[in-house]
């Protein structure tokens, strides 16, 4: 699961390493580059909740395997584009695959690792995020420098197909063991024709809305005097609506297709709706959701614009950044994720707020460090500040998810994590890349990026407010 998470963030972040060559070849503004960074986040957010429901109702293993295969295919297809809206569509569909993976993966890990081991297990899992986030930018820059940005998409997308096959072999507690690899491949082949026909039927809204969006955006592109980016916004809106519509159509199919009787499946879905209403009234989740949105705004905005910042401000190409500083980013992120998970678990044995304080403290302490990283002109100070920023900003990965899992019933964990992904991404890192790009077009990239550590510090403080509620919410779930 950690390796798949590494691939997840590698494919997610590779586009940030390619911002500058894509900008030159496709003639884009910084704001348009920002939308490329946000496209998959917006779709991921909208699709995460219904796909989380699928994981709870049917098979988390199947949702994970589907997600890995889908995002890998559209990462690789990014190499074939010739226009901005085509790349925007590919990045949007990367988000659908990643939406299915994240909630189901963490809910599956929560079943294997109970109690005081959970945050550390999720911390190990988050090491894949830290390594993948840096490696996506590092390898993307190296591959783009040597072979071009299109080759980078192919090289980082294709390995996912192997991981999709391996994901189909994951074991799920209290569910049937997976079939053999041979049986899996044979069943895929046998069901391929029927599945393709059914998939075409279910995907009709996405197909027609994508075609309509492409046609309308092409017409708008020919009309003079319209606001810049209107054609892109229209196309993105059509694709997003089509994706959400299609995913929502999959939910009743999953309910009907469970191995249990249809009445039992319908009851499970009704139980989910009832549990979701209870979860939305959980005070701890309010602070974790709002604070989590601000910290994801800070983290993903920094990741999105760091390669362009270093190239424009310090004259360093992405490949050089990877060689000189990549190991420090990897070390800081990996150690921070492990430290945060282990410390959160240790504190939980002494205090119900242990995981909450670790989740928020990293961003409160990391805000000044990140601001200094953006303001310095001397590269000799860059390494310690880079290490410190990645280390402190990685504390939250395991503990924050563990807190959410600690205060909700086991039956709806994937669904609740899907709701968290929906809120935190739509209200957080979906906004960050285009907003920073917009501000950069007007004030410069460095002043625009200083908004990020401020948002992270405020988010950390909001998370810490959950210290006043987490004990009661954990006790209610245990009862």
* CA count, 13 A, side-chain hemisphere, 369: 18
The model's confidence at residue 39, banded by pLDDT at 50, 70 and 90, is: confident
The two tokens of residue 188 are 């895929």
**Tokens 């809106």 identify what position?**
237
Cα–Cα distance between 256 and 58 in angstroms, integer? 10
Question: 151: domain range?
Answer: 2-478
Residue-wise pLDDT for 207-234, tens only, equals 777 778 777 776 776 676 666 556 666 7
Residue 187 CB neighbour total at 10 angstroms? 12
Number of domains in the chain: 1
Give the separation between CA 247 and CA 241, rounded to whole angstroms: 10
- Output the six-digit token pair for 105: 């993966």
* CA 88/CA 217 separation, integer angstroms: 13
Q: How far apart are CA 314 and CA 337, in angstroms?
A: 28
Per-residue pLDDT tens over the stretch 408-462: 777 666 667 767 777 787 778 778 888 888 888 888 889 999 999 999 999 999 9
In the structure encoding, which two tokens stand for residue 141, read together? 């820059």
The candidate with the shortest Cα–Cα distance to 205, out of 253, 254, 238, is 238
pTM for the structure as a whole: 0.65
Helices (H), 148-261: 149-157, 160-167, 181-190, 192-202, 204-222, 230-256
Alpha carbon distance 276, 284 (integer Å): 14
Contact 6, 135 (CB under 8 A): yes
Work out the average pLDDT over 67-87: 88
Q: 274 or 372: which carries more pLDDT confidence? A: 372
Instruction: Copy the structure tokens of residue 391.
Output: 């280390």
CATH of the domain at 444: 1.20.1250.20
- Over residues 109-139, the pLDDT tens digits come to 877 877 667 767 777 787 777 678 778 888 8
> What confidence category does residue 370 fall into, taking pLDDT thresholds of 50, 70 and 90?
very high
Spatial distance between the Cα atoms of 283 and 286, rounded to a whole number of angstroms: 5
Instruction: Report residue 377 as tokens.
Output: 């002109």
Helical spans, DSSP H, in 113-159:
118-147, 149-157
Q: Are 463 and 356 in contact (CB under 8 A)?
A: yes
CA-to-CA distance for 128 and 418, rounded, in angstroms? 19
């Amino acid at each position: 699961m950690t390796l798949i998470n590494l691939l997840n963030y590698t494919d997610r972040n590779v586009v940030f390493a390619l911002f500058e060559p894509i900008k030159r070849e496709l003639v884009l503004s910084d704001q348009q580059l920002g939308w490329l960074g946000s496209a998959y986040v917006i779709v991921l957010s909208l699709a995460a909740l219904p796909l989380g429901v699928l994981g709870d109702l049917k098979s988390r293993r199947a949702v994970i395997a589907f997600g890995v295969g889908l995002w890998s295919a559209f990462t690789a297809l990014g190499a074939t584009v010739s226009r901005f809206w085509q790349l925007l569509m590919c990045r949007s569909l990367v988000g659908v695959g990643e939406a299915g993976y994240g909630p189901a993966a963490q809910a599956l890990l929560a079943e294997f690792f109970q109690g005081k081991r959970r945050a550390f297990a999720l911390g190990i899992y988050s090491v894949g995020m830290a390594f993948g986030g840096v490696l996506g930018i590092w390898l993307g820059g190296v591959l783009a420098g040597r072979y071009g940005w299109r080759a980078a998409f192919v090289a980082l997308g294709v390995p996912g197909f192997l991981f999709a096959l391996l994901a189909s072999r994951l074991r799920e507690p209290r569910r049937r063991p997976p079939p053999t690899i041979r049986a899996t491949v044979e069943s895929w082949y046998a069901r391929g024709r029927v599945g393709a026909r059914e998939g075409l039927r279910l995907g009709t809204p996405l197909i027609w809305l994508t075609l309509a969006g492409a046609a309308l955006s092409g017409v708008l592109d020919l009309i003079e005097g319209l606001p810049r980016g209107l054609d892109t916004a229209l196309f993105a809106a059509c694709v997003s609506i089509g994706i959400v519509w299609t995913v929502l159509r999959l939910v009743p199919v999953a309910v009907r297709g469970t191995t249990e009787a249809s009445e039992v499946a319908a009851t499970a879905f009704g139980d989910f709706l009832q549990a979701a209403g209870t979860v939305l009234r959980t005070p701890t989740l309010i602070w974790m959701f709002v604070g989590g949105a601000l910290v994801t705004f800070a983290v993903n905005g920094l990741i999105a614009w760091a390669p362009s910042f270093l190239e424009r401000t310090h004259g360093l190409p992405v490949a050089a950044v990877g060689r000189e500083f990549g190991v420090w980013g990897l070390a800081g992120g990996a150690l921070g994720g492990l430290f945060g998970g282990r410390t959160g678990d240790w504190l939980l044995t002494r205090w119900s707020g242990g995981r909450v304080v670790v989740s928020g403290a990293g961003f409160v302490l990391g805000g000044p460090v990140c601001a200094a990283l953006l303001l310095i002109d001397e590269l000799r100070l860059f390494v310690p500040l880079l290490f410190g920023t990645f280390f402190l900003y990685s504390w939250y990965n395991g503990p924050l998810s563990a807190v959410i899992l600690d205060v909700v019933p086991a039956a709806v964990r994937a669904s609740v994590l899907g709701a968290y992904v929906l809120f935190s991404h739509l209200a957080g890192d979906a906004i960050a890349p285009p907003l920073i790009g917009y501000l950069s077009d007007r004030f410069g990239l460095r002043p625009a990026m200083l908004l990020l550590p401020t948002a992270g510090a405020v988010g950390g403080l909001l998370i810490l407010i959950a210290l006043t509620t987490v004990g009661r919410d954990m006790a209610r779930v245990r009862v």
